[in-house]
């Protein structure tokens, strides 16, 4: 048996704590830092996501995890100039795997604060340079270049958590989990997500372009490792809104949709034109942008707090301007880990520019959900496979 002793479990009072295998060697090496219990939960879940995402798309993949669910996930397609600006990656040399992480991290920068990063490919210096700028707990990857490792070892006063995983490791087919002293056993979810799942298009509109198929795969694989109930909005190779752990499906759709809307609002000319005070920290800039695009901003203006953040008093982004900007969104894909029970999910998704939906199907109201899609010309595919994750 091989094991790694941990400082404590989920909380400081939960001792002793360790990770171990009854037989064989642990497939991980800690190259720097001292990862904790939750760190390893994030690391192992996020690694599975990026590994499967690369296998399904053929592209380098990355994820940004918080509390055992992804705040973002993406494949390594090039960033636009606007994306570089909103992700604070201007004038940076970005490799494909660096692009994947910048996009995964940038989808929801507030939720990614203090994240665990996962990379499908060897971590290079470009990715390490970006990680070094962000508030992050650790990273897992199949390897690190010497330069990347040296960069990461300087982070968090030398305590940044760096984990290397054997990319050829295959876990046992049966997994176990203890809850309240009782052991649960189940077959591991080895269900392969690929384009064959997307053939059952149930709507009148059947036009499903290749980029939408790729985005459907990203949404489904992201959902496979997101705490249920969950809904995921994807555009141009990256998750732009993840709604996790909600008891109601419509609340998942609303939560993820609001995050997708915020992602788009960060590209509004007024947001791009914000003038921050010199030397502002990246997290403070993230928080300021989030407040600026929220409904609370006029109250903040009245309090005069803007002077601590902006060089000049920003003009209010009105509700009418926000709604008009969000209405320009299109070509978004949304996935759901279980069926949509009502057409209200489609109605909400449409407001965030959703043109494509992928979900298991199987509701007694499938006909109503399909009819709602048909009303808006949305393409919907049924996979027949639920993706709950607990």
Number of H helices, E strands in the chain: 13, 15
Q: Using a CB cutoff of 8 Å and minimum separation of 24, what contacts does 255-261 make?
A: 255/231, 256/231, 256/232, 256/334, 257/233, 257/348, 257/349, 257/351, 257/352, 259/107, 259/108, 259/111, 259/233, 260/233, 260/235, 260/329, 260/332, 260/352, 260/353, 261/326, 261/329, 261/352
- Residue the block writes with tokens 């090039």: 78
DSSP reduced 3-state for 361: coil
Tokens of 70: 């992804």
Alpha-carbon distances of 17 from 10, 12, 59, rounded to whole Å? 9, 10, 36
- Alpha carbons within 13 A on the beta-carbon side of 370: 17
Structure tokens at 296: 């609370």
The single residue listed with the structure tokens 């830092």 is 33
Q: What is the distance between the alpha carbons of residues 43 and 114, in angstroms, rounded to a whole number?
A: 13
- The whole-angstrom separation of Cα 199 and Cα 230 is 22
CB atoms within 10 A of CB 224: 22
The residues carrying an active-site annotation are 66-67, 229, 390
């Amino acid at each position: 048996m091989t094991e790694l002793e941990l400082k404590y479990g989920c909380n400081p009072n939960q001792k002793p704590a360790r990770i171990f295998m009854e037989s064989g060697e642990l497939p991980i090496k800690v190259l720097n830092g001292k990862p904790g219990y939750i760190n390893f939960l994030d690391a192992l879940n996020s690694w599975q996501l990026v590994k499967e995402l690369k296998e399904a798309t053929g592209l380098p993949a990355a994820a940004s995890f918080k509390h055992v669910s992804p705040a973002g996930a993406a494949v390594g397609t090039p960033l636009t100039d606007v994306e570089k600006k909103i992700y604070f990656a201007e004038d940076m040399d970005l490799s494909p795997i660096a692009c994947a992480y910048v996009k995964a991290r940038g989808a929801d920068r507030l939720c990614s604060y203090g994240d665990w990063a996962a990379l499908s490919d060897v971590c290079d210096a470009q990715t390490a340079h970006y990680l070094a700028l962000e508030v992050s707990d650790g990273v897992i990857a199949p390897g690190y270049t010497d330069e990347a490792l040296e960069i990461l070892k300087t982070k968090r006063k030398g305590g940044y958590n760096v984990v290397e995983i054997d990319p050829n490791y295959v876990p046992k087919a049966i997994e176990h989990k203890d809850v309240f002293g009782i052991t649960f056993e189940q077959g591991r979810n080895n269900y392969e997500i690929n384009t064959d799942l997307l053939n059952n298009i149930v709507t009148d509109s059947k036009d499903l372009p290749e980029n939408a198929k790729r985005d459907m795969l990203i949404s489904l694989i992201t959902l496979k490792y997101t705490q249920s109930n969950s809904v995921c909005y994807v555009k141009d190779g990256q998750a732009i809104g993840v709604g996790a752990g909600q008891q109601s499906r419509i609340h998942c759709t609303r939560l993820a949709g609001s995050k997708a809307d915020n992602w788009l609002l960060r590209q509004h000319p007024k947001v791009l034109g914000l003038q921050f005070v010199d030397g502002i920290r990246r997290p403070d800039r993230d928080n300021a942008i989030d407040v600026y695009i929220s409904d609370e901003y006029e109250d903040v203006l009245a309090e005069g707090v803007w002077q601590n953040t902006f060089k000049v008093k920003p003009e209010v982004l009105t509700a009418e301007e926000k709604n008009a900007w969000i209405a320009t969104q299109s070509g978004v894909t949304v996935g759901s880990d279980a069926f949509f029970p009502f057409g209200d999910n489609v109605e909400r998704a449409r407001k965030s520019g959703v043109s494509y939906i992928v979900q298991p199907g199987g509701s007694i109201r499938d006909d109503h959900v399909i009819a709602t899609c048909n009303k808006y010309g949305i393409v919907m595919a049924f996979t027949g496979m639920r993706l709950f994750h607990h």
